[in-house]
C-alpha cells in the first residue's frame, strides 16, 4: 500500500479502508461520503464477464466493513457530516453501528430514475437507494432546506463500476455539507465519482480503494477533471 504521510490531500491510495483509516489522525476530515460494500456477495450481470463492470467486488461482507465505522467517526471533524450509501435490507445494521458514534439524522432516499432487473413477477422494481446521514455534533447544512427525496438519474450502461453513483448527486451532498477548500474523504472510492465531484467543487479529496484497477481508474478520471476545471476557469 502507498505510504500516506499526514497532512496530505488530493491523493487516491490503494489499500484496505481500515488500514488507511487507522493511520489518519483524529478529527482531520471535514466530510465523508462513501458507498461501502452492501454486505452481501455481489457480481453484476450488467456486462459481459470480462468487462470492468462485471468484476466481483472484494471484501463484500458486513463483518469485514463494520469496524471501519468507528474509525470513520474518529477521523471526522467536530461538526462534520457523513453520508453512507446502503441498501434497504442492510440499512438497520449500518444505522445501529453508526448511531453508536455519531448523531443519525433523517435518512435520505435516492430516486435513481429507473430500476434493475430482479424478480419480474413477484416483487416491485426497486429504483431507490438509502443514504444514512449522520453528524458529529450540530452540523449546519448549506443553502436552503431541502427534502430528503433526492432525484438524480443513476449512470447508464456506460458506467465504470457496478455501484457507481450519480456525480450530480455527490455534488449536491458535498455542496450541502462542506465549503471550498474542505477535505472530502471516500474510504471506498471505487471509480472515484465522489472525488471528482469534490474536485469540481474546489474541495480537497482523499480516496481509498482495495482494487488497484479502480485506484488507477480514479487517478485518471481525477486528472481529467482537474484539467477540465482549469480550462473552464481560463475560459478555454
Rounded average pLDDT over 125-141: 96
The sign one gets for the Cα dihedral 2, 209, 185, 165 is: positive
| Contact yes or no for 74/96 (Cβ under 8 A) | no
Question: pLDDT exceeding 70 applies to what percent of the chain?
Answer: 81
171-186 pLDDT tens trace: 999 999 999 999 999 9
- Separation of CA 66 from chain center: 16
Which secondary-structure segment (H or E) carries 91?
Answer: helix 91-99
Cα dihedral angle (31, 38, 61, 106), rounded to 10 degrees?
50
Please tell me the predicted confidence (pLDDT) of residue 176.
99
Please provide the distance, in angstroms rounded to a whole number, between the alpha carbons at the two ends of the chain: 37
pLDDT class of 114 with cuts at 50, 70, 90: confident
Which of the pair, 133 or 123, is modelled with greater confidence?
A: 133
Give the list of residues 6+ apart from residue 54 with CB closer than 8 angstroms, or none: 43, 44, 45, 46, 47, 48, 162
Please tell me the predicted confidence (pLDDT) of residue 58.
45
CA distance 15 to 32: 17
Please tell me the predicted confidence (pLDDT) of residue 117.
67
Question: pLDDT exceeding 90 applies to what percent of the chain?
Answer: 67
**For residue 224, which phi and psi values (nearest 5 degrees)?**
-65, -40
Please tell me the predicted confidence (pLDDT) of residue 206.
97
Full set of structural domains in the chain with CATH: 11-234 (3.40.50.150)
CA distance 29 to 93: 24
Within the chain, how many helices (H) and strands (E) appear?
A: 7, 9
CA–CA distances in Å: residue 195 to residues 12, 40, 68, 91: 9, 25, 19, 24
Asked which of 115-129, 131-145, 153-167, 208-222 is least confident by mean pLDDT, the reply is: 153-167
Please tell me the predicted confidence (pLDDT) of residue 8.
73
Please tell me the predicted confidence (pLDDT) of residue 39.
57
By the 10 Å C-beta count (0-12 exposed, 13-18 middle, 19+ buried), 102 is classed as buried
pTM of the predicted structure, to 2 decimals: 0.86
Is the pLDDT assigned to residue 86 strictly greater than 60? Answer: yes
**For residue 68, which phi and psi values (nearest 5 degrees)?**
-70, -20
CA distance 15 to 204: 20
Mean of the per-residue pLDDT values for the chain? Answer: 85
Amino acid at each position: 500500500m502507498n505510504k500516506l504521510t499526514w497532512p496530505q490531500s488530493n491523493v487516491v491510495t490503494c489499500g484496505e479502508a481500515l488500514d488507511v483509516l487507522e493511520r489518519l489522525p483524529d478529527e482531520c476530515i471535514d466530510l465523508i461520503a462513501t458507498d461501502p460494500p452492501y454486505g452481501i456477495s455481489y457480481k453484476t450481470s450488467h456486462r459481459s464477464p470480462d468487462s470492468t463492470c462485471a468484476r466481483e467486488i472484494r471484501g463484500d461482507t458486513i463483518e469485514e466493513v463494520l469496524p471501519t465505522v468507528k474509525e470513520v467517526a474518529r477521523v471526522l471533524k467536530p461538526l462534520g457530516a457523513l453520508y453512507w450509501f446502503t441498501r434497504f435490507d442492510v440499512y438497520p445494521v449500518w444505522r445501529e453501528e453508526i448511531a453508536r458514534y455519531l448523531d443519525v439524522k433523517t435518512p435520505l432516499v435516492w430516486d435513481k430514475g429507473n430500476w434493475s432487473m430482479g424478480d419480474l413477477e413477484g416483487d416491485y422494481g426497486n429504483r431507490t437507494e438509502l443514504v444514512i446521514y449522520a453528524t458529529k455534533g450540530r452540523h449546519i447544512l448549506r443553502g436552503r432546506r431541502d427534502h430528503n427525496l433526492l432525484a438524480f438519474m443513476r449512470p447508464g450502461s456506460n458506467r465504470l463500476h457496478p455501484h457507481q453513483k450519480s456525480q450530480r448527486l455527490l455534488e449536491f451532498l458535498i455542496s450541502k455539507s462542506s465549503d471550498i477548500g474542505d477535505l472530502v474523504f471516500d474510504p471506498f472510492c471505487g471509480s472515484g465519482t465522489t472525488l471528482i465531484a469534490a474536485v469540481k467543487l474546489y474541495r480537497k479529496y482523499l480516496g481509498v480503494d482495495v482494487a488497484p484497477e479502480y485506484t488507477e481508474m480514479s487517478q485518471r478520471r481525477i486528472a481529467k477533471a482537474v484539467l477540465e476545471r482549469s480550462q473552464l476557469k481560463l475560459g478555454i
